[in-house]
A and B are shown apart, each in its own frame.
Chain A
Amino acid sequence: MSIIKVENLSKDFGSISAVKNVSFEVEEGTIFGFLGPNGAGKTTTINILCTLLSPTSGKAFISGHNCKDEPSSVRKSIGVVFQDTTLDKDLTAYENLLFHAYLYNVKRSDRKARIHDALHFLDLYDRKNDLVKTFSGGMKRRLEVARGLIHKPRVLFLDEPTLGLDPQSRAHLWEFIVKLPEMHNVTIFMTTHYMEEAEVCNKIAIIDNGEIITRGTPTELKKTVGGDVIYIKTSDNMKAGPEIEKLFNITVNDKNGELYLTVPKGDALIPEIIRTIGEKVLSVRLQRPTLNDVFLKITGKQIREENVSSNDTMKNAVRSYRKKFDRN
């Protein structure tokens, strides 16, 4: 059953079309990834789904409720972790969650237990009485996820949950996120532009310039790129190359002293190659297509430049500006 349904959704900001005629559905109990570069329209779509923006045209439904016309039913069934933190830094972790429990009218008898469960689940229980301003970025993010779970939403939105975190904190956060659908019976709608993070998603839609350019499971999408690449170093490339070509009927190329070939199932082919030209092989490595390659193939550009984009520089500037104020 689809818990999120989006039909021909568009949103204009003046002359900018942030979202253009987007349609998709999300199955209950799955992790849905909305991927795209900066300014693609991910946050705008989330804002429409969580009732903070009304669409210019088109419709969005969450468990059958129209996001525009029945905001209060929609709000009851969703939890949101916004791209920028929305915690009160002058309150403790516990107080932030308690604030949330009251806002969502959680029964008095359940409040404490739910807050404690959420804190335990995200590994923050020991810090529950500390002011949030003393938390690291990763802890704040986990606290926001914990908060989003307090009222037992049916859908949890995570807008760039790992943005700005170091690789360790990112991995730590993902550990919790992947357990959510099963343990908390919640559907996850997440955005990211770290493509490798999207591997955990059951379904993915890639959005660029406000339009969905492709969708499917991570495996399906990666298949469209054309398969795995096997790199082989041998003691005699001149001989080994044609030998492999003849045996498996594939083109083999030579690059930087390494042979490489593209095949649909690389892992199955490696043992055969070794069996036939084994004595010449020095090393073999397999490169699987990444979601990045998918984006690259469709749009001809990288989803995320390795060097810091100007947009990120701006975000960092805003962050440090905020930090200055947060101390007050």
Chain B
Amino acid sequence: MWKQENAEVLEVKRLLDDVFWIKFKAARIAQDAAPGQFVHVLCSDHYSPFLRRPFSINRLDKDELSVLFKVVGEGTRLLSRVTPGQTLNLLGPAGRGFPVNVSGAHVLLVAGGMGVAPMPALAHRLLAQGNRVTAIIGARNARYVFEAEYMAQCGAEVLVCTDDGSAGPRLTATSMYRELRDKGDVAYACGPLAMLQEMKQCAATPLWISLETRIGCGTGLCLGCAQPSGYTEDGQVVYRKVCIDGPVFHASEVVLLED
């Protein structure tokens, strides 16, 4: 069950012009959190933006958790300006994370762009449970590759690829996955919708994906975060709530419609 907590900002790192990493002290949330869950962050005291903003839990360590994000609008811009010592209201851990009750498996993690955000906590947990972890990180170029070192330190085998070949081969995360897919027992993916769609089409094992639909309340109150999940007998679309049924779904649980 989620909680609300006024979390202290412990550390802020500017990784690129528009990419930031923030570490919070948030004991109540961190203690219960699982990889793939998110925190719903109140970015403004002044109701602008009005709603919270969801971010995947990036790393987890006892009483601490971090988020890794890209500035794309007002909420993320405000978040990028926080300073250590400040407190922010977080709501979490929210949603359903990746299934982590596996052991002795070879797990493939596939991240595209900012989809790498939840992977460090996930890799850490899976490794601690005796799994073998191969993480594929696809990025625009070498500068946009994040968390490769951290995951390697945790013990994951990390494979990087970029759109322009500036780090690793010139490949997308999905095409790299295609080459390795038969080796894994299960795959966990996070990234742009088009990537997830491709992953779903080419997956050779069970596949779990984390979606980034627009979120309102984040707690199941408003039904604002609908994700098509199937059809009724008479052809009506049935939805699931990304904020509490997800954000992580088994690929077969959702219908991914681009656009």
A binds B: no
